Every structure is written in C-alpha cells, then in structure tokens.
Structure 1
Amino acid sequence: MSIRIGNLPPLSAFIALEAVVRRMSFTLASRELKVTQAAVSQQVRALEDYLRAELIVRERPRIRPTEEALVIANAVRAGIDGIEAAVNSVRHRPEPNRISVASTTAFSSYWLMPRLTRFFGEYPELEVNLLSKDLDIRDSMSGFDIGIVYTNQSRPGFQATRLFGEEVVAVCSGPYKAAHPEMQTAVDLLGVHLLHFDSEEPETDWPGWFTALGIDTRTLTPGGVRSALERGAHFDSYILATQAAVEGQGVVLGWRRLIESMLRRGDLVRAVPEAVVPANGYDVILPSRLTDDPAVKSFRTWLAREAAEDW
C-alpha cells in the first residue's frame, strides 16, 4: 500500500531518495530498505518526473545528488528524526532489569563481549540483550536502550557521550610481515596484498587512509599504485577481513581499539608505523528519556570505566 500526503508522491519515494543521498549509492540504499535496486531507482525516477527536475546525476560508477535532492533529503531526514524522537520519548522499557544494547558485530565481538563477564560480576541483577546492527545504527535508532556507534554526529532526542576515539592502522600477521621486510612506511604497502573492508568511513578504506596520510593516489597512473589499490580481496564484514589478515592473506586496516587484544596476543602486528586518527569515534547513545534510568545508567557508567582502564 502506498501512503500519500495530499497530492504528493508516495512517502516511500521520499524515503528512497533520502537513503540514496545519505548512502551515496542505490545499492546500499536498496539493502537498507530491503527492496531491489530497481525499485529504489524507480521511486527516485518517479520523484524526478513529479518535480520535473533531476535529483540524482548518474556518473558511473558514482552518483551525485543535485541541490534539489539535498533540500528534499534533508527535509525527509528531519521528519524521520522528529518521529523517532517522539516515539522514544513515550516508549517505556518493559523489563527494568533487562538492557538492550546495539552495536556492530565487530564492536560487540572484539571489544564488548570479552568484557561483559566483568559487568555481570558487578551487576548480577541485570541482564543484557546484544543486538547486532551492521547497518549504521544512526539510521535506525529504535528497539534498543543503549547504542554504541562510530560517529561524529548528534540526533534529536538522543544523548551522546564519547566512549573513545580511534586510530586506524595497517596490520597483518607476524609471518606475513616477516616475509615482506620491504614494508617500512605506508607507501611500501602499495607493493603488497591489501585486504579491503568495504566501509563508508573515508579514513577506513585504503584510498581514504592514504589520502589522510598525504599520499595523493588520484594523480597516479593506471597500472601503478592505483591498480595496487584496486587489487586484493574485498569483504563486507570487518570480522572476515580481520581474520584474513590473521591467516596471513595480506594487510588490512584495523581499528586499533577493537583489535588491541589481537595485537597484544601477537595474532596481528603493525605492518608500518603510520596511523590515521579520524574525527569520528565511538559514542554511547541513548534516548534522552533514559538518561536517569538506573539500569541504563549503570551500564553506561561501566562502559566508561572499561574504556578508561583499557587504554
């Protein structure tokens, strides 16, 4: 069923456009909305026909939203934010001693899960439900009490507290590093096998990482460094990309706070000394109405203590 307001096109068309603009990709938007890419494209085309204006410039392999698209997408985002803030202001937690915590699979697996035993030891009366949200939970802030998200943004109706910042470093297995003594600086990595985690964060993919270090790969010719950046296995899971590095399959970019235990055990080693410090970091977010909730407050306090002791 298509929901319309007045004579406007269906709301689904506006939601599709907002997702495309935010994700800068029809493919990623379709995954988020759980519809086909063709359906998203059709919705955007319908809006363009209605407005008699181009909204998305299709410059393969990239897309570029027009000014008109940005105006509409920002209005849609503001509306969604307002609805979420209103819902979260009235939604009640059904079980006061049970906390729902949302984060990515990587954060939950590498950082949070190994520490939860200590939390249960301190707060035996509380229970924790872990929700894995590998899509950006900034875009779906409902259904949980606390979220841990890699961001540098705020949202209406939510309180955000920085848990810790990050360093993005190049890592590999010890045997792989020993087999490639030529790896001394970041530029040397262009001659080895790079493992790619397909991330939307600019400093956490190889081109963005090199750019942040002042290495301008845009001016390099095909067949040289550019082809080196395009080679190698691609992963849509950070855990799989990291495991490939542990198994000696190449060099991957690692979030140091997440992989610190692997570095300490020697499962991974720094390939080169350079590091990039992104503007983003891990924030603890929660609906403003839960700021004084006893269980939520206990968990947030415990998180802050663990983060401080860990570094």
Structure 2
Amino acid sequence: MATLNRTLPPLAALVAFEAVARHLSVTKAAGELCLTQAAVSRKTRALEDDLGVRLFQRLHRGLRLTPEGERLQAAVSASLGRIAETADQLRQRGRSAQVTVATSVAFATYWLMPRIPNFRAAHPDIELRITAFDPYVDPVREGVDAAIRYGGGDWPGLETTRLFADEIFPVCSPAYLRAHPGLTSLDALAEHTLLHLDVSYQDWVDWGEWFRAQGRAAPGHRSGLLFNTYTLLIQAAVAGQGVALGWRHLVQDFLEAGQLVRPIAPTMQPRGAYHLVHPAGTALAPETQTFVDWVLDEAAPEPDGA
C-alpha cells in the first residue's frame, strides 16, 4: 500500500482548492487565505496537473466545478473540516479553561481576592480573569462570563442569584478611637472627621443617607476627606485619618484583625443586596458553572455554632 506522503496532493494546494471551490472565485479565495490571486491560481492548476483532470471550468464570468471537481470538493471539505474540528478540540484541552469575572474594585479587593486561593487549590485547571470596575460594567456588552454586583437585582438581560444583603456602620482605627474617647454617640460622630466616597453611584449609601436612616439630620457641613475609591477610603480609616462607613462584607476582615473597630453601635440595612449575575438565555460553560457554584458556597451563611 502506497504511503499517504506519496499519494496525497500537497496540503496547501488542497486548502486553496477548497476555498476556490466554495467561493467559485479566485479573488475571494485569495482574500480569505491572505494570498495573491496568482498564488492561488498556481496552486489550483498544480493540483489539476497532479491529478491529471480539470477541476474547474473557467468561464467568461467565473468558475464552475467539473464533475471531478465536485467529487474532490466533497472529500476535501469533509476531511479538512474534521481536521480543523479535531485540532480545535485538542487546543482547547491543551490550554486552561478560563472564566472572566467582573465586580467592583472594593468587592474584588476585600471579599473576592482573599478567597481566591481556596478556589485555585480546589480547581487548579481553571484560570480566573478578574476585572474590577467602578461603576459596574454590563456583563453582556463587556463579554464577561459572570459578575458580582450590588443593587436591586432587576437588570435586563441578566440572570441573577442573590448572595447576601449587607449592613453599614461607622468604623475607625483603634488609634483614632483612643485619641477621641468622646466618640460615643451619633451627636459626637457628626462632629468628627468623616471619610466620604466622592461618587454618584445610584446604590451607594453616603453619610447623609446613613444619618437620616438613624432619624437624624445629616451633618450641616461636609467635613472630612473625600476619596474616589472605597479602597482608598478604607485605607485612610485604617491609618487613623477619620471615620468611614463600613460595609460589613467588605470590612469584616479588618474588624477581625483588629485594624478597624466600631466606635458606636447604630447600623443601617440598605435596600439592595449583592448578586451573582450572568447573561440570560445562554448555558454556562462547565468552568463558569464551577465558579458560580463555588461563589454560592462561599456566600452561604455559616451554620449556627460554626
């Protein structure tokens, strides 16, 4: 039996023939293959010479496949298609599955990132690509696989799963509290250096709204420091520069580590909640479903006594 190397025409000629046969145009085939028309013509004529048959009828206004050309096109198209499909499957297996996740800078920094080592240990074959934006991005428009965002949960084009609500309360560093022992009431709080987030996000709670939730008028002047990211604001609080509004799921690690404390007890339950979202109407890839299931487990409340 003859070897394939001796009986098969050159692969480049077969690829050129398949493109010309599909388009019935040397010009279109050359554009698709990024070759000159002359190069494509040479390859197809060389293939005809090798086989000893005409594959095309060259008409005044185009090309037409001969019966031999139609027979070869059926075989070549099917074979090259199977080769391309198999090669693509092997490439996919050869690279790590990737999941692109979007969320806010603060949530990525203070809730998600501390938990990522656990995910990587459990799923070393999945590569996470985390993109952080303020304000939130549209997962459909940006092409992300899943996102974690705060709000009411009614977002067109997205399937949502509620993770948890949050709680908002004043926080400061232990050093700041030691230096200001009179910080024991709402009235006293209003006179202290308040750290503000200088943004206009629809769902963000500022000091004015927080004081109104306590039945108090907002401080008459906006004293304190302004920041354009929550991460900077919290770092300022840790550094003893004033009092910040702490969102419990974002500052819990600081409280447990003793870097922040709650100087007074009043708190606020905001209207929104954190949600895990992904584009509606499309099945999740296995690696994305794995990430979604992991987030839901991480967000689940701990059982009593844990």
| TM above 0.5 | yes
Work out the CA distance in 2 between the residues paired with 1:272 and 1:260.
16
Work out whether residues 140 and 279 of structure 2, in 8 Å CA contact, stay in contact via their aligned partners in 1. no
Work out whether residues 197 and 234 of structure 1, in 8 Å CA contact, stay in contact via their aligned partners in 2. yes
One-letter amino acid of the counterpart of residue 117, structure 1? P
Work out whether residues 145 and 290 of structure 1, in 8 Å CA contact, stay in contact via their aligned partners in 2. no
Does the alignment pair 1:263 with 2:264? no
Matches within 5 A, 1:58-69: none
Cα drift, residue 121 of structure 1: 1.2
Matches within 5 A, 1:1-311: 97-138=97-138, 141-199=141-199, 200-201=201-202, 204-217=205-218, 225-227=219-221, 230-308=222-300
SS in 1 for 2:154: coil
Structure 1 residue ranges, 4+ long, deviating more than 4 angstroms after superposition: 138-141
Partner of 1:9: none
Work out the CA distance in 2 between the residues paired with 1:115 and 1:162.
19
Work out whether residues 139 and 278 of structure 2, in 8 Å CA contact, stay in contact via their aligned partners in 1. no
Cα drift, residue 309 of structure 1: 5.3
Work out whether residues 150 and 203 of structure 2, in 8 Å CA contact, stay in contact via their aligned partners in 1. no
One-letter amino acid of the counterpart of residue 260, structure 1? Q
Percent identity between matched residues is 35
Work out the CA distance in 1 between the residues paired with 2:298 and 2:139.
27
Work out whether residues 166 and 257 of structure 1, in 8 Å CA contact, stay in contact via their aligned partners in 2. yes
Work out the CA distance in 2 between the residues paired with 1:256 and 1:155.
24
Aligned pair in 2 of structure 1 residues 252, 133: CA closer, same or farther (>3 Å)?
Answer: same
Aligned pair in 2 of structure 1 residues 123, 104: CA closer, same or farther (>3 Å)?
Answer: same
One-letter amino acid of the counterpart of residue 206, structure 2? D
Aligned pair in 2 of structure 1 residues 137, 203: CA closer, same or farther (>3 Å)?
Answer: closer
Q: TM-score, normalised by structure 1?
A: 0.63
Deviations 1:158-191 (A, max 9, x none): 1001111101110000011122122222232011
Work out the CA distance in 1 between the residues paired with 2:178 and 2:127.
45
One-letter amino acid of the counterpart of residue 251, structure 2? I
Work out whether residues 149 and 276 of structure 2, in 8 Å CA contact, stay in contact via their aligned partners in 1. yes
Aligned pair in 2 of structure 1 residues 158, 201: CA closer, same or farther (>3 Å)?
Answer: closer
Work out the CA distance in 1 between the residues paired with 2:202 and 2:138.
13
When structure 1 is superposed on structure 2, of 124-133 and 153-162 the one drifting more is: 153-162
Unpaired segments ≥5 residues, structure 1:
1-93, 218-224
Cα drift, residue 310 of structure 1: 6.2
Work out the CA distance in 1 between the residues paired with 2:171 and 2:151.
23
Aligned length: 209
> For the aligned residues, what is the CA RMSD?
2.1
Work out whether residues 290 and 296 of structure 1, in 8 Å CA contact, stay in contact via their aligned partners in 2. no
Work out the CA distance in 1 between the residues paired with 2:230 and 2:296.
24
Work out whether residues 138 and 149 of structure 1, in 8 Å CA contact, stay in contact via their aligned partners in 2. no
Aligned pair in 2 of structure 1 residues 125, 235: CA closer, same or farther (>3 Å)?
Answer: same
Aligned pair in 2 of structure 1 residues 162, 291: CA closer, same or farther (>3 Å)?
Answer: farther
SS in 1 for 2:263: strand
Q: TM-score, normalised by structure 2?
A: 0.64
Aligned pair in 2 of structure 1 residues 291, 216: CA closer, same or farther (>3 Å)?
Answer: farther
SS in 1 for 2:265: strand
Work out the CA distance in 1 between the residues paired with 2:113 and 2:212.
33
SS in 2 for 1:191: coil
Work out the CA distance in 2 between the residues paired with 1:310 and 1:270.
22
SS in 2 for 1:215: coil
Work out whether residues 102 and 139 of structure 2, in 8 Å CA contact, stay in contact via their aligned partners in 1. no
Aligned pair in 2 of structure 1 residues 273, 140: CA closer, same or farther (>3 Å)?
Answer: farther
Work out the CA distance in 2 between the residues paired with 1:140 and 1:236.
26
Unpaired segments ≥5 residues, structure 2:
1-91
One-letter amino acid of the counterpart of residue 308, structure 1? A
Work out the CA distance in 2 between the residues paired with 1:310 and 1:250.
32
